[in-house]
Amino acid sequence: MDLRQRIENLREAADDWMRSKSTRRMAVVLGCSVGILLLALLANRLLTRPRRPLPPSQEQPAALPPGGDIRCTPMHYQATVQQDAAAFGVPVPTLQELQQPLRGGTELRGRRLRPQGDVVETEHLRLETSIVKLRSTLDGSQGFRADHLVLRITNKSSVPVAYRVLTTLPDVQRCGSKADLPHNAIVLRPGETVERTECIFHKRRILQLIQVDAYEVTELGHRYLSRLMPSEGGPFEMRLARAHDRGGLKPCQTIPWRDLDPATDVWLAVVDFHARHNCDEYTQPRGYRPWTRPGTLPACAASSP
């Protein structure tokens, strides 16, 4: 083979190699394009596929109750109960215990009491009359000593009791000048005895028991109720409750009974609500009624069970 033939063969071999290289190049480019297209389709499918809900442990926090007040959530209520019990140094009541209707009711109606040494007992209370000489005033400045009709009230039970002992006397409107004895006028500890003045004593003034009510509450409920401040226009008889002693506890700043339904027993509604709720955190709703069956806490809505 001459030199010219050899050069021609080398040229053809080079052309074949170049054509095969271009083919490989095109194959690589085409393969990359197909790969990019597949990746784009897969990404689009993943982005448009509906998301599965998170497991319960990873869900977002529960929505706030109507009104958006976190204090109305069960978690905040239970935390408040635990903190208050620790602050007062009393046992933490269970949620089930607080959700139950208060045990108790009206224990006596319509009874006359002699002014000295007469005793009446109900399921929870013991009542006894006596005559005690105390210093009183006529106009808030002029003092004098006078015999007073005093009623001693004892909680006989082994649990705290919210109580109401309604009384009256002849010419009861003249009892405003009587002396006062500080006492817890709302709730009593187990075995606790308080004394309150009924009126300046007169032989013709016979004490008439109108009604005696007693309701069992928790130790924490005792502290909550003790913070209430009796005032004019409220459910407490001010002749008897104006000397209420909170025992050094901070008074409630609100007057919860202003908007309550007068058709219900306002005293019982106030006791029923505040035996379960801290007055700094919760305000008694309008239309609140005493519970007759287990309810839901906290009671932020007006409806009652």
Q: What is the mean pLDDT of residues 94-117?
A: 96
Is 305 or 133 the better-scoring residue by pLDDT?
Answer: 133
Given a cut of 70, is residue 26 above it in pLDDT? Answer: no
Given a cut of 90, is residue 53 above it in pLDDT? Answer: no
Given a cut of 70, is residue 5 above it in pLDDT? Answer: no
Beta bridge partners of 119: 128
pLDDT band at 6 (very low <50, low <70, confident <90, very high): low
Given a cut of 80, is residue 221 above it in pLDDT? Answer: yes
Is 244 or 63 the better-scoring residue by pLDDT?
Answer: 244
pLDDT the model gives residue 29 = 47
- The answer to whether residues 169 and 208 touch, using CB atoms and an 8 Å cutoff, is yes
- The answer to whether residues 221 and 271 touch, using CB atoms and an 8 Å cutoff, is no
pLDDT band at 259 (very low <50, low <70, confident <90, very high): confident
Three-state DSSP state, 175: helix
Q: Cβ atoms within 10 A of the Cβ of 52, count?
A: 6
* pTM across the whole model: 0.77
Q: What is the mean pLDDT of residues 227-242?
A: 92
pLDDT the model gives residue 266 = 93
pLDDT the model gives residue 233 = 83
Given a cut of 50, is residue 231 above it in pLDDT? Answer: yes
Task: Count CA atoms closer than 13 A to 244's CA, side-chain side.
Answer: 23
State percent of the chain over pLDDT 70: 74
Is 26 or 173 the better-scoring residue by pLDDT?
Answer: 173
Residues 6+ apart with CB under 8 A from 279: 224, 227, 228, 252, 253, 254, 256
The secondary structure of the chain in percent helix, strand, coil, rounded to multiples of 5, reads 30, 25, 45
Three-state DSSP state, 116: coil
pLDDT the model gives residue 20 = 56
The 10s digit of each residue's pLDDT in 135-149 is 887 655 567 899 999
Q: Cβ atoms within 10 A of the Cβ of 241, count?
A: 20
pLDDT the model gives residue 11 = 60
The 10s digit of each residue's pLDDT in 159-203 is 999 999 999 999 899 898 899 999 999 999 999 999 999 999 988
The first and second tokens of residue 57, run together, are: 């442990």
The first and second tokens of residue 207, run together, are: 């004490």
The first and second tokens of residue 287, run together, are: 């239309």
Q: Considering only 42-56, 89-103, 234-248, which range has the smallest mean pLDDT?
A: 42-56
